[in-house]
Structures are given as structure tokens and as C-alpha cells.
Amino acid sequence: MQPHIVNEHVEDAKTGELNGCQLRFELPRSQQERFPGLFAHLEDKKQSLRIESFGLSVNALEEAYLKVMRMGEVPSREADEDVFQDNSVLELQEGFFARIIQQLQYIWLKRIIEISHNISLIVNQILLPIALAILVGWTMRKKSVNIAKHHLEHHNVPDISLNRIKSGRVVVLDPSHNTEKRRLLEKVMKKYPHIQITHHRSSKWAEHWPKEFPWAVLGVIIRSQGAIANGSEAYYWLLPSYLYYKEQTLFHLISDVEYAAGKLQMHVSFTRMIADTASMTLMVLSPFLVFIAAVLMNSSFIPSLIEERVFHFKHQQFLAGLSPLLFWVATIIWDSGVIVVVAGIITLVMKIFKLAVTRMFMPLICAYCVAMLPMVYVLSLLIDTPGVAKSVSILYQIGSAALGFVMLFQGGKKKFTHAFPSFAVVMSFMKELFSTNIPKLSVTERETYESLLLHGVIFVVVLIVHELHFEKLLLKTVCKKTYIERSEVPDGADIIEERERVENNISDFALAVQDLTKYHGVTCAVKKTTYGIKEKDCFGLVGASGAGKTSTFDVITGLRSANSGTVFIGDEFVNRTQGIGYCPQFDAMLPRLSCRQNMMVIAALNGYKYPKKVVDEMLRFLDLTEHSSKAFSRCSGGQRRRVGIGVALMNPSKLAILDEPTAGIDPKTRHQIWSLLKKMRASGKAIVLSSHSMEECEALCSRIGILVRGRLVAIGASQTLKTRHADNFFLHMSMTSVTHKDLVVSTVLTTFPSGNLMTRREDALTLKFKIRQRKEDKVSTLYEKAQKMASSLPLKEFMLIQASLEDVLEILNEQYSGKAL
């Protein structure tokens, strides 16, 4: 259609935008008398001009508001200004490894920013574990037992504090048959004639002590050692069983034998500790405090992961091209790095307090925390509340350690340590801090690390299964839900035509949705919808709340899987790392990061070589430069939506999904965003949007699909939908006085017998009438009748407009109300 045809009838008409197959003209109200001639010409030449339909609407109050706003206002930029003034900033990283390195860099930068803005995270992850380590060091240092040092030669045997044993037998366990050490021990014991010595030389002494020696007051092991010059514990003193359980906390036994320069230096004491109960309890609990420090440290990684998932920022990163594998690799590397640093500080604290921890102390803390990370990650995926998930993690670790002790003292075997890595680690901490073993509780390093490895592997498998949705696929296979059509209303010609169009040319579309079905529980949210969107198209998906719009977008973007049907982006099946610009209904940014930082992370993950320049350009276009350093949580609703739209449109893919992009935004900003979307569409990007603003859909969308309770019931250009589904016109009459109401009403209802007064207010100066259009009624005829009638009435002005898209939506909802779909 040539624009000059309109100007021949209405001289001051302005050609508006071409939106798909829909062309818009602005007609001045001052030339209303010429409208019927224009409409009559279009009706007569409809076939030759290839016009499917045309209608008449009026500018909304929003347009008037914008015109007032523009008066006296200096535009911030030219209307035709491009989003990116310098297209060189859109250059992408070349090479797979260059992109991977950049993605890792910005993932870790995100974590640095998060921890620097989160005091709670710093306290739980760093300060609290270190504080517990200081408490342990102070307690162990202050309450350590004074060791009596004696130089033993063959002619000089000192008293080694066994006077408290009045009488009884001591079992000497000599599995190594070391005659020299046994003789030395016998010389020592001769100082106490009231003590009898019984020898036991079996190498399997642990199986016999103490159950075969209930009469023993004490046991001594002569241990097998390597080179004597190295010096080590040669005598290992055992308490009898009745002391294990009742007086264990009251006794401390330290033995150390060193050989040097031909004489024997023996450090032996058997001392009843007379300390206050609170201090003694702290000392005994020291290994558990170190364990709790490790538990708090690894559990503190949960809140950040839940925040990313719940706010859908994790999903945004995947849509920007980040693979789930790289996400988790980067996460575990970062978390392991934090663990190593904190464990190193804890070990340094122990050294400062001069505790004789071995070189295995720090690796033990690191190994335990890293082995628990997969369990922490699984909890972050299953639980949405950070506090609850963190509590579950802490209870799981402490509870499994406690359960290990319960099973041990009830006669369990050491092999169960593989099922309770927390118990094994606590035992190892006891060994490190007390420099001794209790045979019944002894756990070897190998057993500890085997249990940690087993635990880590099990939860890594669970994490992989969950991230790849294996459990959902299995559940879908076992409990397959098939949508059975029970619709009482057959598909219209437009729906049938769209289905054939997609099935015959599925590779021609930027996005093709075919027979998409999605259930939420027993409710079918989307019912076998089919449609296709080509490049440079803007497709609007509209419907009442709960119609299935967001569920559809969740499937298209890979956030959720469909029960049946397929979604193609280009000629590929959809997946969650497809590369889609997505602006969800609710803000999907990290609240502690600034607007710029959120956009920088996504721009870098998109693969831009100069992410900072890309973000600067987008912020400039969105008028967000002065707010770019503000934390996202402190931004207004309009600023947040602009950031979300900017993130969606920065994606270099040819498809953008926008779920209510301008909700809660003022009219001026809304129109700026419309301008941005039109430019992006003109550049070749296909756009799919959902909106409750029908004016927005009419302004932006080349085609619109209407959903009713999950079913696509109509599709086409907005004017086509209005002509096809709404047979009503609305007549607005603005009176000079309310006293003329009866005259105006009676005249309108006489002229248009099918008319109906919609205005209920008695004092209203503007009356609205609903005029039903019969099949034989032409737009030109209706307008001419209204014009003649208005000239005979005391009116300021009148308007005759076609039903709006919102009216169409209401009509279709009423039409399908109460009917099976």
C-alpha cells in the first residue's frame, strides 16, 4: 500500500511505523470530516491494495502525557541514535581457551565482589573458624600438662609417678620382642614392689586389651620403632577399661623416650589433672571445636549458591554461554582456595600457640572441607532458603560424627568409619592435638582419607545426576503424562494455518515451538502450542495471569523441561546453554552487585572481547550511567527493568525473550525501551515478549498469540485479531453539559439500535457507547452516521474507534469460559 493514498484524502496524515505486515498512520482529529471518504476508498480498493483489514484507534492518555513531557525538554539523545555507536566493541573473543579463561576470570571476580559486600559471609567463612582455632590454641597451651623430664641411665632409674597405684598387676605388651626396652622397663618397675608385671608378647595385642585383662590396673606397650637415633614414643601407656568411660577426662598420659649420646632420656608422667571443670571440658572438646570450625567453613558456601539460583542469575549465566561444567569447576576451585587459606591460618594459629600438630593437620582440614563441598552443593540445589540449607549441612556433619561415636561405644567395628567421615576426622583431630592414640578409637590416615573420598564421590554423582536432570527424565519416563485433547472448541483457521506453516518449514524460523506441553503437577499449564518466529519478527504472547506465558518461557530458555513437544532455536533443540537474551518477569540479578558489575559479568560470559565497553555503551543508551555504581538492590523498579532488558539485548544471539519487560516503568522510559527493542529487531534479532499492556504489544509486535488456560486460541497481527474476533465499535461523546445526557443517549440509541450505554456515572460529561458491527456494516458507513449525528448534538467532540486488543482478550476469555480446553 502506498502512503500517498492516505494523504490524498487526509492531507496532514503522517505515515507511522511498519510493524510486520501492519502499517500505521496518524490521522489529525482536525480533519475528521475527511475520514469517511478515506475509509470508503480503502474498502473499495481492499483487494487491489492487498489489505486484509483496517481499523481505527485513538492515542492513549499516555501519548498525551509524553507530548506534554517533551515540551520545553531537551532530548537526551537523538531518536535515531544507534545503541552501539562504535560497532567494534561488539567483537567477540576468538578461540575456545581465550573465552574459557575470560569466563573463569569474571566468575571469580563475581565471588570476590560478593564476599567483599557480605559481612555475614566473611564472619562465617573466615573469622568464626579462626576464632575457634584461637580458642583451641589458648586452651591447649594454658592447660597442657607439665612433663617431668628425667635422664635415665642403667644405674639411675627415677620415680615415674606410679606411687598412686597401691597394688595390682601391670600388663606389658611386647609385640616387637624388644629385649633392651623390656629390660629397661623392668628396672623402672622394680622401684614399685607392690606392682606385679605380666608379659604378653602377641602381635595382635589390640584384640586382647583390655577385655582379656580385667584385673589389670595399667597396660604398657613396647612399640616397634625404626632407627633409634630418630627418637620416638617407645612406651605407650594404656588405661584400664573401667577408666575409659568414667574417669577418662580426669587422666592424661604422655610418654616419650629419646635416645641420644649413649644415655636414655625418658619423659613419663601419669598425672591426675585437678583443673576446674569448665577449663577441662574446653580442653577435651578442643578436637571437636576444630571440627566445628571446619563444618562452619564449608557450610558457609551455601548462601551464595542459593542466592544465584533463586534469583535466576545462575540461569542467566548459562544463557550467556557458560557451561554447567565450567560453572561447577570454577566454583569448586574458588571454594577450595578459600578453604586452603583459612586452613593455613588455623594451622598458623596452632603453631603460634606452640601446639605440636604434625604436617598432616592442615591437609586434614582441607581434605575434609573439600570432600564435603559436593554435599554442600547438592543442598544448595534442593533447598531454597539459605538458613535452612546451612542448618541441614551443619546438623548432617555433626550428627554423623555423633552417630559414629554412639555406634562405636555400642560395640561397632572400625569399618563403619567409611560411612561416617565426620567421625573419622574428629578422631584424627584428637590424634593431632593430643599426640596420642586410644587403640579402640584409633583411625588410620588411610581410613580417614578413604571415607572422605567415598563421601565426596557419592555426592559428586548426585550433583551430576541433578544438574543433568536425570532424575526428572526418569520420573517423566516412569510417570509419563500425555495431554489428551478434550476441547469443546475446535482450532480456528489461524491456528491450523500456523501449525502447517511450522511443520513444513521448521528450519526457517529463529524460534519454532511445536506441540509444546507442560504440566505443573496434575495441572496442564501449556497445551500443545505451536508457532514460529522469524528473524526481525516480534511475537507477543498475551493472556490472563496463569495462562501459561511464563511456563512457556521457562521451557524455551531451558529452565524447565517440557513434558512433550519440541522447541527449536534455529535448527537446534533448545538447551539451557543455547545462548538466549532473556529478561524474566522478576529481576534476575545479584542484589549486592552494582548495575555495572551484574552487566559486566554477563557481557564477559557472552564472550565479548571488550565487555567494559559493551556495558558502557548499553548503560549510556539506557540512561543508567549515573546509577551504574548503585547496588542493584537499591535501584528503583524502572532502573532494575532497564538493567534486565540491557542484559537480554547484550546477548549476541538472534533471539531475545522478554517477560513483561516494561512492567512498573514510567511512560517516558517505556517508550525509550520500545525504541531500543525496535532497533534491536531491525538489526536482525527475533523478539518474543509477554506483556499485560496491550498497547505495548500493538506498538512492538508484528504478530500476537493469545493464550487461554494454556491453549493458543488465536494468532495474527493485532488489527487482524481485532477484526476477526471483535465485532464492536466504541463511540465516545463529550458533552458541553451534563443536562444534555438524555438527549445524547436517546439520539445515539435511535441512530444505532444495537448500541449500549457503557457509562454508569450520572455526572459524567463523556459518555461511552458500545456499537455492535453487523456483517453488512462498513467502517465508512458507521463513521459517516456517527459524524452526522454528532453535528446535530451539543457536543465538544466525538470519537468512533474499533475494539482494542484488550477487548479481544476479554472476549476470548469469556468465549472459552467454562469450556474444556
Widest Cα–Cα separation across the chain = 139
What's the mean pLDDT in 643-647? Answer: 91
pLDDT at residue 253 above 50? no
What three-state secondary structure class fits 623?
Answer: coil
The CA-to-CA distance between both ends of the chain, in Å, stands at: 39
pLDDT at residue 32 above 90? no
Q: How many CA atoms within 13 Å lie on the side-chain side of 371?
A: 25
> Which triple of cell numbers denotes residue 170?
601391670
Please tell me the predicted confidence (pLDDT) of residue 241: 40
Task: Pick the most confident of 29-43, 143-157, 253-267, 554-568.
Answer: 554-568
- Report the C-alpha gap between 705 and 812 in whole angstroms: 12
Position with higher pLDDT, 106 vs 244: 106
- Report the C-alpha gap between 581 and 599 in whole angstroms: 12
> Which triple of cell numbers denotes residue 34?
475527511
Position with higher pLDDT, 788 vs 61: 788
pLDDT grade for 576, boundaries at 50, 70 and 90: low
In CATH, what class is 727-802?
Answer: alpha beta
What three-state secondary structure class fits 567?
Answer: strand
pLDDT tens profile 355-406: 777 888 899 999 999 999 999 999 999 999 999 999 999 999 999 988 888 8
Instruction: Tell me the average pLDDT of the chain.
Output: 79
Position with higher pLDDT, 250 vs 117: 117
Please tell me the predicted confidence (pLDDT) of residue 413: 54
Position with higher pLDDT, 495 vs 143: 495
- Report the C-alpha gap between 507 and 363 in whole angstroms: 55
List the single range of 111-120, 250-259, 444-453, 628-637 with lowest mean pLDDT.
250-259
Query: ∠ CA 560-562-568 to the nearest 5 degrees?
Result: 95
Please tell me the predicted confidence (pLDDT) of residue 159: 41
pLDDT tens profile 129-177: 999 999 888 877 654 443 333 333 434 434 445 655 667 778 888 777 7
Amino acid at 646: G
Please tell me the predicted confidence (pLDDT) of residue 700: 87
List the single range of 318-327, 344-353, 724-733 with lowest mean pLDDT.
724-733
pLDDT tens profile 179-220: 777 777 777 777 777 778 888 777 776 666 666 777 777 777
> Which triple of cell numbers denotes residue 12?
496532514
Q: How many CA atoms within 13 Å lie on the side-chain side of 49?
A: 19
- Report the C-alpha gap between 680 and 686 in whole angstroms: 8
Three-class SS string for 292-345? HHHHHHHHCCHHHHHHHHHCCHHHHHHHCCCCHHHHHHHHHHHHHHHHHHHHHH
pLDDT at residue 454 above 50? yes
Please tell me the predicted confidence (pLDDT) of residue 160: 43
Position with higher pLDDT, 21 vs 289: 289
pLDDT at residue 622 above 70? yes
Domain positions in the chain: 130-135+279-468, 149-274, 493-595+635-719, 727-802
Position with higher pLDDT, 163 vs 340: 340
What's the mean pLDDT in 264-278? Answer: 39
Question: 284: burial class by Cβ within 10 Å (0-12, 13-18, 19+)?
Answer: middle
Cβ contact 350:260 at 8 Å: no
| CATH number, domain 493-595+635-719, options 3.40.50.300, 3.30.200.20, 3.60.15.10, 3.50.50.60 | 3.40.50.300
Cβ contact 508:521 at 8 Å: no
Question: What 8-state DSSP symbol labels residue 286?
Answer: H
Please tell me the predicted confidence (pLDDT) of residue 230: 32
Position with higher pLDDT, 519 vs 17: 519
Please tell me the predicted confidence (pLDDT) of residue 300: 95
- Report the C-alpha gap between 551 and 789 in whole angstroms: 49
Three-class SS string for 693-730? CHHHHHHHCCEEEEEECCEEEEEECHHHHHHHHCCEEE
- Report the C-alpha gap between 58 and 42 in whole angstroms: 19
Please tell me the predicted confidence (pLDDT) of residue 274: 35
Amino acid at 324: P
Question: 287: burial class by Cβ within 10 Å (0-12, 13-18, 19+)?
Answer: buried
Residue 18 belongs to what H/E stretch? strand 14-19
What's the mean pLDDT in 597-617? Answer: 93
Residue 812 belongs to what H/E stretch? helix 805-816
Position with higher pLDDT, 562 vs 68: 562
Which contacts qualify for 634-643: CB closer than 8 Å, 24 or more apart?
635/595, 637/664, 637/665, 638/664, 638/665, 638/666, 638/669, 639/595, 640/587, 640/589, 641/583, 641/587, 641/665, 641/673, 642/669, 642/673, 643/587, 643/589, 643/595, 643/598, 643/599
pLDDT at residue 601 above 90? yes
Please tell me the predicted confidence (pLDDT) of residue 521: 81
Phi-psi region of 177 (alpha: psi -120 to 50; beta: other; left: phi over 0): left
Amino acid at 359: R
pLDDT tens profile 526-575: 999 999 999 889 999 999 888 889 899 989 988 888 888 889 888 778 76
Residue positions counted in the chain:
821
What's the mean pLDDT in 413-442? Answer: 69
